[in-house]
C-alpha cells in the first residue's frame, strides 16, 4: 500500500480526466446492461403475440442502446488509456531526472543494464495499473452494482445460488495472485541481469573479439536467457491457470442456475423473458469476473515493478545542493584546498592538502598512478564531495554554491573521454546554450551547417565569441576534421568509436574550451596525442589560459613545464611544489621524473 500511496501523486494532475473516464464507464455499462432487460421484455412481449411493430421496435431499441454503449466505450478507453500514457511520460521524466542527479559513485555501484530494465520493462508493467486495470476494475464494479439489484428483483433465490461458488473464486484469485507477484519480481530481476549482460558485452565487444571470447560469452548469455525463460514459464503456468479455474468455478454457478431456473420457468414462477434476462446478466457478470482475474494479474505485476521503480526515485543523491546554498557572484577562479583529507569507500586518498591557487594562474599536478591527482580534480566541480570547508572557490566553501552555477563556471576534461553518438559539432558545442539556424538536423548541444562550413559565433554566457571551429582549432582538431567526409557534421559513432584516442581527447578539450570557463581542468587530457600535436595544443591553449584558472594533470613534464606552479603528489600528499626550474633545483621526485622522460625521448630519437 505504501508503494501505491507514492504512486498516487502521479494521478493528481489528471484526476479530472480520470473522473470523466470513470463516468463514461458508468454510462457505457448502464446502456450495455440495459440490453438484457430489453431482450427479456421482448421475449415476454413477443410470446404474447407477434406483430410487425414489435419486430421493428425491439431490434431498433436494442441496436440504439448498443450504439450508445459503444460511444461511451470509445470515450472511456480514449480518456483512460491516454491518461496512462501521460502518467508513463511523467514517470519516465522523474526516473531520468533522478538518475541524472545521482553522483558518480551511484553508477559505480549500479549496473546500467539494471537501470535500463527498470526504465523499460518495469515502467511498461506499471502503466498497466493506470489504464487497463482502472478500466476493467470499474467495469466489473459497475457491472455488479447494476446487475445484482436487477437480478435480485427477478429472483432472490437464483441470485443467492450464485454465491455458492464465489468463495472458490476468491480463494483462486488470492492464491494465484500472490504467486504471480513473487514470480514476476524474480522475472524482473532476471531481466535486469540479461539486460546488464547484453549492455556490457555490446560495450566491450572489441575486447571480446580481441580475446576470441564470442562463444564463451554466447554460452554465458544462454545460461541467463534459459533461466529467464524458465522463470517466465513458471509465471505463465500460474497466469494460465487463473482464467480456466475462474471459468470453471463461475461456470458451476451457471450450471446451478440452469438446473434450478429452468424448472422455475416451467412452473411459471418466473417468466421466460425474466429467465432469459437473468441468463444474459449472468453471462455479462461471468465476463467481468474473469476480467477481475486479469486485473489481479496486472496489479501483481505492476506493484512488483512499482517497488523496483520507487527504489530508484527514493535513492537520495550523494551530492546535491546544500540547504544554505544560494546564487553567488560570478566565479572568478580563486581556488583553495584547506587542510583537505579525503577518503573514498573508507580508504584515505588525499591527506593534508593545503594549496592556494590565485585566479588566472595555471597549476599542474604530476605523480605516479594512484597518487590522488584525479580525485583532487574531481573535488572542484563536486563530482566527489569533499568535507565541508576544505575546498573553497573565491573564498567560499563549495557547498555555498548551487551545483549548477559552480559547474557552469568549469570546463572539465576527464581522463576517460566520453563522446555522444552525434556529430563532431554537436559534441564540441555540448553544454553551450545556443540557437543557431542550420540547414541540417540539430545535434546534442550545438550545430554546424550541413555544407561543413562553420556557423556564425554561438551566443554565449560571456563576452566570448568562441565558435565550434575556433574551439576545434585551439584543440588541434581542425585539420583532422577537414579530412573527414562530413567535416563538422561527421557522425562519431557510439562513444566516438570512429575517432582515434587522440581525436577523442582533442574533441573533449574543444568542448571544454567552448564553454569559455573561468576554471579549466585538464585531467591527463593529452596522454593519447603525439609530442608534436601536444606542442601545438599547448601553444594554442596559452591564450585560452590567460585570465582563467587552469588545473592540469599530466604524466609528461613537457605538458606542464610552463605552469605557474607544479605540485608533485605521492600517496595522496603534495610532496614537492614550485616552478619547473625550482623543482629541478630540488633534485627530488620531479627532477627524477624529468630525467627519465628526457632519456626516453633521446632513446626514441636515436631509433
Q: How far apart are CA 559 and CA 537, in angstroms?
A: 10
pLDDT at 542 > cutoff 50: yes
Q: Which helix (H) or strand (E) holds 66?
A: helix 52-100
Q: Domain 417-514 class?
A: alpha beta
Q: How far apart are CA 297 and CA 304, in angstroms?
A: 11
Under the banding of pLDDT at 50, 70 and 90, the label for residue 24 is very high
Q: Please give the model's pTM, rounded to 2 decimal places.
A: 0.69
For the ranges 113-122, 337-346, 535-544, the one whose mean pLDDT is highest? 337-346
CA geometry: angle at 37 spanning 283 and 67, to 5°? 85
CA geometry: angle at 539 spanning 534 and 545, to 5°? 110
CA geometry: angle at 219 spanning 213 and 222, to 5°? 140
Considering the four listed CATH numbers 1.10.10.10, 1.20.1560.10, 2.40.50.70, 3.40.1160.10, the one that applies to the domain covering 2-313 is 1.20.1560.10
CA 380 distance to own-chain centroid: 27
Q: How far apart are CA 287 and CA 112, in angstroms?
A: 42
Task: Supply the pLDDT for residue 156.
Answer: 87
Extract the C-alpha cell encoding 517. 570557463
Answer whether 438's CB lies under 8 Å from 455's CB: yes
Task: Supply the pLDDT for residue 23.
Answer: 93
Task: Supply the pLDDT for residue 456.
Answer: 34
Task: Supply the pLDDT for residue 601.
Answer: 66
Answer whether 230's CB lies under 8 Å from 183's CB: no
Extract the C-alpha cell encoding 85. 500514457
- Per cent of the chain over pLDDT 70 is 91
Under the banding of pLDDT at 50, 70 and 90, the label for residue 458 is very low
Give the number of other CB atoms < 10 A from CB of residue 164: 12
pLDDT at 107 > cutoff 80: no
Start and end residues for every CATH 3.40.50.300 domain found in the chain: 328-409+517-607, 417-514
Q: Which helix (H) or strand (E) holds 414?
A: none
Q: How far apart are CA 587 and CA 607, in angstroms?
A: 29
Query: Lowest-confidence range among 80-84, 109-113, 123-127?
Result: 109-113
Task: Supply the pLDDT for residue 437.
Answer: 34
User: What does the pLDDT average to over 540-550?
Assistant: 78
The correct answer on CATH 3.40.50.300 for the domain covering 328-409+517-607 is: yes
Answer whether 293's CB lies under 8 Å from 96's CB: no
Q: What are 183-205's pLDDT values in tens digits?
A: 777 777 777 777 777 777 766 66
- β-partners of residue 356 are 336
Q: How far apart are CA 142 and CA 149, in angstroms?
A: 12
For the ranges 15-19, 431-435, 441-445, the one whose mean pLDDT is highest? 15-19
Amino acid at each position: 500500500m505504501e508503494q501505491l500511496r507514492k504512486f498516487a501523486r502521479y494521478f493528481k494532475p489528471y484526476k479530472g480526466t480520470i473522473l470523466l473516464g470513470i463516468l463514461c464507464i458508468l454510462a457505457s455499462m448502464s446502456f450495455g446492461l440495459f440490453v438484457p432487460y430489453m431482450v427479456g421484455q421482448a421475449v415476454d412481449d413477443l410470446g404474447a403475440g407477434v406483430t410487425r411493430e414489435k419486430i421493428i421496435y425491439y431490434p431498433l431499441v436494442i441496436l440504439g442502446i448498443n450504439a450508445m454503449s459503444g460511444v461511451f466505450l470509445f470515450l472511456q478507453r480514449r480518456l483512460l488509456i491516454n491518461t496512462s500514457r501521460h502518467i508513463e511520460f511523467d514517470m519516465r521524466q522523474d526516473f531520468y531526472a533522478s538518475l541524472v542527479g545521482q553522483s558518480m559513485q551511484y553508477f559505480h555501484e549500479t549496473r546500467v543494464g539494471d537501470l535500463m530494465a527498470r526504465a523499460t520493462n518495469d515502467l511498461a508493467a506499471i502503466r498497466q495499473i493506470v489504464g487497463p486495470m482502472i478500466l476493467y476494475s470499474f467495469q466489473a464494479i459497475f457491472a455488479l452494482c447494476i446487475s445484482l439489484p436487477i437480478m435480485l428483483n427477478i429472483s432472490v433465490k437464483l441470485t443467492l445460488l450464485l454465491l455458492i461458488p464465489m468463495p472458490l473464486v476468491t480463494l483462486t484469485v488470492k492464491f494465484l495472485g500472490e504467486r504471480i507477484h513473487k514470480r514476476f519480481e524474480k522475472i524482473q530481476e532476471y531481466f535486469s541481469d540479461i539486460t546488464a549482460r547484453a549492455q556490457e558485452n555490446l560495450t566491450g565487444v572489441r575486447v571480446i573479439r580481441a580475446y576470441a571470447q564470442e562463444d564463451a560469452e554466447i554460452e554465458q548469455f544462454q545460461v541467463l536467457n534459459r533461466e529467464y525463460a524458465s522463470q517466465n514459464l513458471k509465471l505463465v503456468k500460474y497466469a494460465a491457470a487463473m482464467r480456466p479455474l475462474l471459468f470453471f468455478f463461475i461456470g458451476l454457478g451457471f450450471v446451478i442456475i440452469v438446473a434450478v431456473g429452468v424448472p422455475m420457468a416451467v412452473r411459471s414462477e418466473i417468466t421466460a423473458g425474466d429467465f432469459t434476462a437473468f441468463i444474459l446478466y449472468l453471462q455479462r457478470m461471468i465476463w467481468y469476473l474473469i476480467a477481475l482475474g486479469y486485473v489481479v494479474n496486472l496489479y501483481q505485476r505492476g506493484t512488483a515493478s512499482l517497488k523496483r521503480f520507487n527504489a530508484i526515485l527514493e535513492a537520495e543523491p550523494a551530492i546535491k545542493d546544500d540547504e544554505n546554498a544560494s546564487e553567488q557572484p560570478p566565479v572568478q577562479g580563486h581556488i583553495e584546498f584547506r587542510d583537505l583529507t579525503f577518503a573514498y569507500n573508507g580508504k584515505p586518498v588525499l591527506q593534508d592538502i593545503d594549496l592556494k591557487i590565485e585566479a588566472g594562474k595555471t597549476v599542474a599536478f604530476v605523480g605516479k598512478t594512484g597518487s590522488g591527482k584525479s580525485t583532487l580534480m574531481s573535488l572542484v566541480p563536486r563530482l566527489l564531495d569533499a568535507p565541508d570547508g576544505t575546498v573553497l572557490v573565491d573564498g567560499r566553501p563549495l557547498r555555498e554554491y548551487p551545483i549548477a552555477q559552480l559547474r557552469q563556471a568549469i570546463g572539465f576534461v576527464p581522463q576517460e573521454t566520453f563522446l555522444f553518438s552525434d556529430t563532431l559539432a554537436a559534441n564540441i558545442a555540448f553544454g553551450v546554450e545556443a540557437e543557431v539556424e542550420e540547414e541540417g538536423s540539430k545535434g546534442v548541444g550545438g550545430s554546424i551547417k550541413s555544407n561543413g562550413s562553420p556557423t556564425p559565433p554561438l551566443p554565449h554566457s560571456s563576452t566570448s565569441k568562441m565558435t565550434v571551429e575556433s574551439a576545434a582549432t585551439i584543440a588541434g582538431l581542425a585539420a583532422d576534421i577537414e579530412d573527414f567526409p562530413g567535416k563538422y557534421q561527421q557522425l562519431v559513432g557510439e562513444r566516438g568509436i570512429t575517432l582515434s584516442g587522440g581525436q577523442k581527447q582533442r574533441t573533449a578539450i574543444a568542448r571544454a574550451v567552448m564553454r569559455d570557463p573561468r576554471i579549466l581542468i585538464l585531467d591527463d587530457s593529452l596522454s593519447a596525442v603525439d609530442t608534436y600535436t601536444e606542442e601545438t595544443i599547448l601553444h594554442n591553449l596559452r591564450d585560452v589560459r590567460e585570465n582563467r584558472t587552469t588545473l592540469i594533470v599530466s604524466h609528461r613534464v613537457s605538458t606542464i613545464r610552463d605552469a605557474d606552479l607544479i605540485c608533485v603528489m605521492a600517496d595522496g600528499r603534495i610532496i614537492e611544489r614550485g616552478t619547473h626550474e625550482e623543482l629541478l633545483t630540488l633534485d627530488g621526485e620531479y627532477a627524477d621524473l624529468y630525467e627519465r622522460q628526457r632519456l626516453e625521448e633521446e632513446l626514441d630519437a636515436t631509433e
